Amino acid sequence: MTLKKKNSGSILVLALLLSACGGNNLASPVSRILHKFQKPAYVSSEVFKSAQFPPPPANGSAEQKADIAAVLELQQKRTEADCARALATANANYDFFWGDKNPFPAPLPDKVKDFFRRLDYDAGESVNVMKNKFERPRPYIAYKEAEPCIKKSGGYSYPSGHSSYSRIFANVLGDIIPSRKEEFIRKADGIAADRVLGGVHYPTDVAAGKIFGDEFHAQLLKSPAYVQDIEKMKALLLR
């Protein structure tokens, strides 16, 4: 029996989504037992158990060799400032995306908190399904020469949880404020790139995370409950 590992990338989604609920950046995953929501609200993880999704490169393949070569090349070139940024984006929170233009009242209304908690639950469960499907070891586990310059993450490598969650978050914020979507996507892309620079993911992990984030968002848009809740979020924006 294969032990299913919880996705440590949930650190990011919880930092993003639960900081929106009044908390701070989180140094470790928060158990889903703490959620007031224990069933899918918008997207069931069952959708992704049978979904067609490109697998990671096979061991020993040219693609795998290129993947680790890219990680090691960045390892040689990165500076202390690069690693400091990667550490910061690994713990990016809700305010990172909004910057100094948070459009919701402070403190956040309960309806906004609950919306983000529901999104957190659905996204986390679905990403876990994908990671456990492929069980790809992280670069520093598969290659002794790979040395992360940020905190090592547990769980599997493919797709990148941080890349998945930040992409989902950017898409959702873009649904709430369409005029800022490109800004949110750029920030999500920065988080994703720093996962490779920091040495905890391969480039293909990050690319897969972006694909997954977009596919998860496409599933969200099929949910009448999600579409209705987005309109509720828009109604709560500061005018």
Is 80 exceeded by the pLDDT of residue 21? Answer: no
Task: Tell me which of 26-40, 66-80, 162-176, 203-217 is least confident.
Answer: 26-40
Q: What angle do CA 57, 59, 64 make, to 5 degrees?
A: 50
Query: Is residue 87 in some structural domain?
Result: yes
Percent of the chain with pLDDT over 90: 72
193 within a domain of the structure (yes/no): yes
What pLDDT score was predicted for residue 34? 44
Residue 143 sits in a domain whose CATH number is: 1.20.144.10
Is 103 within a domain? yes
Residue 35 falls inside a structural domain: no
Q: Considering the chain, what percentage of its residues have pLDDT values greater than 70?
A: 84
**58 CB-side CA count, 13 A:** 3
**Domain total of the chain:** 1
pTM (two decimals): 0.87
Give residue 138's domain range.
Answer: 10-21+58-235
Is there a domain that residue 52 lies in?
no
Cα–Cα separations (whole angstroms), residue 24 to 88, 95, 217: 13, 10, 25
Residue 105 lies in a domain: yes
